[in-house]
Chains A and B, each alone.
Chain A
Amino acid sequence: MTLKKWAFFIFSLVQIIWLAGCSEKSFNPIERERDFIASLNIQEPSLDFIDEQGNVFTTWSFEKAYSGALLLGDDRVLLYGHQLDKIDVYTLSTGKKLYSKKVKIGTTNVYYAKNVNQFFITNSKMNTVTSFDKEGNELASTQLGNYPMSMASYKDQLYVINYKDTKLTVLAIEDLSVKQEWPIEKSSHGIAIVEETNELWIGGHGEGSKPNSSVKRYDLMTGAVQGVIEMPLMPVGLTKTEDNVLVVSHGHNELYVTDFDGNVKWQQEVGANPFVVNQFNDYIVVAGYDDHTLYFIKEGQVQKTVDVGKGAFQLLVREGKL
């Protein structure tokens, strides 16, 4: 081959590789009918999809430093990162990116309110919360306290904890207008709405060198303190299920299961540094951040453990589709 032909050949090869690299990366699709619990691992960002038998049936590995994920409805997953200036929305059934949305750096959390089909982004640099429709169109935005992060909604209200502040802000979902501000402790994190008792429960790390070891109960409408439930160190993972409130304390690696009145039904030491707990079918699933393991608990016993990627930090559950 002459030199010219060689040059052309190499040039074409480089072109092909470049084009291939440029094209949108797609992941293994997740069948629409399949139930799963997905673990978002943030040390080496990935999303592990696990079925009810405790098998990791697929893993999405990311190159971007995602720090959080959530399901938008049944077939979409939204990924965000505190240091990223874009959120990415993927379709689970195709494994392909649906859209990206440019946002300000500093996204601390994204919350999806199913009843209004909107998601909300809190930003720690701007100290704002912004609402979007399911297609990523911005709807409204409001200035909040310092470092807004934990969010929950009930009916037409959005509750936002200002993590480095001493207040919780209650907003109207419709236009994000501030309706109330409740005094809370600094470094509060973890939120659960117990509509049965008309309460809102808040966990937290505690401020400075004094770690927190309780969950506070507030009146859902007025913000009046209803009570304090003593917990092990640093209860930050709160999840309300049909008849329980699940609380994980990452400081003492403990799972507490309480009824809606705050009575501890049972407790168990589980995982290493767990931040999050969720219910998946009949299992309570706790994710150990330090040991990269998911614990499937049933009837107060660890039934199985699943190894996941490094830094399991969030659990996304899709079930009941069958």
Chain B
Amino acid sequence: MKKISTRIWLLIFAFLIITVVFMYVLTDFLYEQLYVEDTESTMIEVGTKLQTMYTSGKVTDEFIAAIEHYNDYSNLNIFAVRNPRELSACVPFDIDYETLIGAEERQQLLAGEYVQKIGYEPRFDRQLISVVLPLVDQNRLEGIIYIYFPLAKISELASQEVILLFVSAFFFLIVISFFVYKGLRHIMRPLNELQTAVEQMSYGNYETRVPVNSSDEIGKLSSTFNDMAEAIQREDEVQKSFLATVSHELRTPISYVKGYSEAMQDGIISDTQKEETIQLIVREANRMERLTNELLQLARMENEQKEIILYPIPLTETLREVQQILMHQAQKKDITLQLTADDSLIVKADEVKLKQIFINIIENAINYSHEQSKVEITAIENNEFAHITIKDYGIGIPQADLSHVTERFYRVNKARSRADGGSGLGLSIVEQLLKQLLGKIEIESEVEKGTNVKITIPLMEE
């Protein structure tokens, strides 16, 4: 009873049985109504005619013989009775004898009415339809004409057919049940496949797919399931590669720190090199710290469900502050940070997040610029948005990598990664932050010519 198909099958089977039984009962009923009624009316008609043969007085032997004679040629069973005992004449006495007619029937006959009976007659030990007609003379029940037709004969007539009916009904049921079963299986197969697929999914087999063969509800369900499975698989892969990257990224600095510190412990490193080695260890430790900080920041942003409160911030001032922060870094490479901005721009944002965005992008621009070049920062108003452009003349990004630069740990130049100190998380963080500030990022780049990052942030409504 677990399977829905079994239940439907049982339901249909039950309905089939009910239908067959109902049809049988109805047929039986109609048969009885029509056939029995017809037989009864024939019997009454014949009996009434025979009744006219009797005029008065005692029922004579001749009368009985005449009825018997008629009986020989009739397909009904007819006889006349004059034995008062058979006619329940002794009724006030306790008679240990089964009479042909009962006391109430006698009263009816005495009144000149005929009696119709249907059912079991102990006298004949079978089911009968019978009609009893009185022979009455001056209130005396002198005799009766008893006409009967065995009900069994009617059913005997039909008995072959009844057996045939039962057998065919039985086979009909079996065949129909078989086809219903097959049909249900056919209909339910995609559901079963879906169920198996879901089971597989739950075991972690995200590559499971179901074939879509129809466009009905089950077909739609299957195709939706496939979409879902695909999405889950994709997400799973992202998760896996992220974890792999994170562990890889962390392992490199750790092995540096471990290797150098062990070497120092073992005295392999000479005193002259010690200072340099310590600086290396510190640098790697810093990288680790920064990496973990940024990872934390990303994780936190992804978990941050609540709405961030945005408030008016003078954009140019923020940009100037960022310029100040990165001035030192730029000077190291002799890079000029050139800021052109409209002082009146007030954006709707969160100051800390906004600064972080600019720092990450401008830092990138500095990092990937050639020495003695410049980074141009411009901010203008356009259609209720502030457009901030950060343009460098650095190494640029190949077209193929452009669409991936905001992915976590994605690096354009994999080999160079650790030398330039980047974690590969900067632009991911920027993208997340911009999402929170309802802003957008657009990156255009050309290899060896430079990169142009365009940021759009909504202005404060007036």
Identify the A interface with B (CB < 8 A): 42, 67, 82, 108, 124, 147, 163-164, 187, 189, 205-206, 208-209, 211, 233-234, 236, 250-253, 271-273, 275, 288-291, 293, 311, 313
**Residues of chain A lying within 8 A (CB to CB) of residue B106:** 290
* With contact pairs A209-B83, A209-B85, A290-B110 given, residues A253 and B94 touching in the complex (Cβ less than 8 Å): no
Which of B95, B110, B140 contacts A205, CB < 8 Å?
B95
Tell me, rounded to whole Å, the shortest Cβ–Cβ distance linking B380 to chain A: 98
Return B94 CB to nearest CB of chain A, in Å: 7
Q: In the complex, A124→B95 CA distance in Å?
A: 13
Nearest residue, chain B, Cβ from A164? B96
What's the least CB distance linking B130 to chain A, in Å? 19
Give B contacts to A, CB under 8 Å: 58, 83-86, 89-90, 92-97, 106, 110, 138-141
Whether A313 contacts B92 in the complex (CB less than 8 A), given A211-B83, A250-B84, comes out as: yes
A-B contact pairs, 24 of them (CB 8 A): A42-B92, A147-B94, A163-B94, A164-B96, A189-B93, A205-B85, A205-B90, A233-B83, A234-B89, A250-B89, A251-B83, A251-B84, A252-B84, A253-B140, A272-B138, A272-B140, A273-B141, A290-B110, A290-B140, A291-B138, A291-B139, A291-B140, A293-B139, A311-B92
Q: Are B83 and A275 in contact (CB under 8 A)?
A: no
- Report the minimum CB–CB distance from B365 to chain A (whole Å): 104
Bound-state Cα–Cα, A211 to B85, Å: 7
Specify which chain A residues have a CB less than 8 angstroms from the CB of B92 in the assembled complex: 42, 67, 275, 289, 311, 313
A interface, by DSSP: helix, strand, loop or mixed? Answer: loop
Return A142 CB to nearest CB of chain B, in Å. Answer: 21
Q: Using Cβ atoms and an 8 Å threshold, which residues of chain B touch A124?
A: 94
Supplied contacts A187-B95, A252-B58, A273-B141, 4 more A-B pairs, CB within 8 Å: A108-B94, A164-B94, A290-B140, A311-B92
Given known A273-B89, A275-B92, contact A288–B139 (CB-CB < 8 A): yes
Contact of B97 among A108, A208, A271 (CB under 8 A): A208
CB distance from B9 to the nearest CB of A (A): 60
Q: Are B90 and A250 in contact (CB under 8 A)?
A: yes
The answer for the CA separation of A122 and B84 in the assembled complex, in Å, is 27
Q: Measured between C-beta atoms, what is the minimum distance from B79 to chain A in Å?
A: 14
Task: List the B side residues contacting A311 at CB < 8 Å.
Answer: 92
CB distance from A73 to the nearest CB of B (A): 26
Asked if A205 contacts B93 (CB within 8 A), the reply is yes
**Interchain CB contact (< 8 A) of B84 among A189, A208, A273, A291:** A273
CB distance from B334 to the nearest CB of A (A): 117
Instruction: Determine how close the nearest CB of chain B comes to the CB of A105; give it in whole angstroms.
Output: 13
Cα distance A26–B185 when bound, in Å? 85
Closest 7 CB pairs of A and B: A291-B139, A251-B84, A272-B140, A272-B139, A273-B89, A211-B85, A205-B90
B98 shortest CB reach to chain A, Å:
9
Q: Return B323 CB to nearest CB of chain A, in Å.
A: 103
A179: min CB distance to chain B, Å: 27
**A272 and B141 in contact, given A42-B92, A205-B93, A234-B90 (Cβ under 8 angstroms):** yes
Q: In the bound complex, how far is the Cα of B96 from the Cα of A209, in angstroms? A: 10
The residues of A that contact B96 with a CB separation of less than 8 Å are 164
CB <8 Å contact, B85 and A251 = yes
Cβ of A205: which chain B residues have Cβ within 8 Å of it? Answer: 85, 90, 93, 95
Specify which chain A residues have a CB less than 8 angstroms from the CB of B58 in the assembled complex. 252
Which B-chain residue is minimally distant from A311 (CB atoms)? B92
Known: A67-B92, A164-B96. A234 touches B84 (CB 8 A): yes
Q: Which residues does chain A contribute within 8 Å of B93, judged by CB atoms?
A: 163, 189, 205, 236
How many whole Å from B42's CB to the nearest CB in chain A? 29
Tell me the complex Cα distance, A293–B86, Å: 23
Interface hub of A147, A205, A311 (most chain B Cβ within 10 A) = A205
Q: Which residue of A lies closest to B140 (CB)?
A: A272
- The complex places the Cα of A198 from the Cα of B97 at a distance, in Å, of 34
* B138 cross-chain contacts in A, Cβ below 8 A: 272, 291
B89 to chain A, nearest CB (A): 5
**Are the C-beta atoms of A290 and B141 separated by less than 8 Å?**
yes
Q: Which partner residue on chain B sits nearest A233 by CB separation?
A: B84
What is the bound-complex CA distance between A163 and B90, given in angstroms?
13
Closest to A186 in B: B96
For the complex, give the distance between the alpha carbons of A211 and B90 in Å.
Answer: 11
Q: Which residue of A lies closest to B137 (CB)?
A: A272
Determine the chain A residues whose CB is within 8 A of the CB of B141 once the complex forms: 272-273, 290
Q: How far is the CA of A164 from the CA of B97 in the complex (A)?
A: 11
| Closest Cβ neighbor of B96 among chain A residues | A164
Q: How far is the CB of B134 from chain A (nearest CB, A)?
A: 11
Q: What residue in chain B is nearest A43 (Cβ atoms)? A: B107
Chain B residue nearest to A313 (CB atoms) is B92
Of the candidates A42, A211, A313, the one having the most CB atoms from chain B within 10 angstroms of its own CB is: A211
